[in-house]
Amino acid sequence: MTKTKKPLTILPTNQLLNQIWDYIISRPGKKGETKKREHECLFLLCWKAGLRITEAISFDLNIEHQSPEYKGLYLLRGKRQKERWVYISPEIIKELKKRDWKPNSANRISFFDFLQQVKKELNIAENIELAPHTLRRCFATYNALNGMPLPVLQKVLGHSKISTTALYIKDSDLSNLTKFKPI
């Protein structure tokens, strides 16, 4: 039995992610599509907050830290049932409330299918990834490129090992490759 190689893929740029977001919020709901608002919320939580899809699905607006100095921190249950605090910006919270976000109102398979449909509708190239976990990797990569220290990013993403965080940073060396061109 021969093993088929996984095709090489690249992350969507921030510009493309913004175009996808604009398209998602402006496209009319398709016949039989019942989770459009929920999928919009999941897109934001994975892309702008770096949540795992399971964390995004169960994200609860009511579990915000009660101390004013920690406003914007929300408690969630991550991988292996570990609890952690995550920062969700007021802009994202506003969008979630506008869409009447409720935890556990969508599932990861329907969200994956939704993203694949959007990719098809926008004619996004085959070699550009667009899946729930891609949004989390984009969050990690672009925050690293913008200077977020790896140990901070590790905590934000909820990784127990920094080596796991380093794996997420798919394109972060590209700027170094162009800055320090080998002879």
Within 10 angstroms of residue 136's Cβ, the number of other Cβ atoms is: 22
pLDDT digits (tens, 9 = 90+) for 127-160: 999 999 999 999 998 898 888 998 999 999 998 8
Rounded Cα–Cα distance for residues 62 and 7 (Å): 42
More confident site: 4 or 88 = 88
Confidence at 4, pLDDT banded by 50, 70, 90: confident
The answer to whether residue 170 scores a pLDDT higher than 60 is no
The answer to whether residue 94 scores a pLDDT higher than 80 is yes
Q: What is the pLDDT of residue 23?
A: 96
Which superfamily does CATH assign the domain made up of 14-179 to? Answer: Intergrase catalytic core (1.10.443.10)
Q: What is the pLDDT of residue 16?
A: 96
List the one residue out of 73, 93, 98, 94 whose CA is nearest residue 84. Answer: 73
pTM of the model: 0.88
List the one residue out of 107, 100, 59, 55 whose CA is nearest residue 78. Answer: 55
- The domain segmentation of the chain, as residue ranges, is 14-179
Cβ proximity of 124 and 12 under 8 Å: yes
For the ranges 5-19, 113-127, 158-172, the lowest mean pLDDT is seen at 158-172
Rounded Cα–Cα distance for residues 168 and 137 (Å): 6
The answer to whether residue 41 scores a pLDDT higher than 90 is yes
Query: Strand runs (DSSP E) across 4-147, as ranges?
Result: 73-77, 83-87
Cβ proximity of 139 and 88 under 8 Å: no
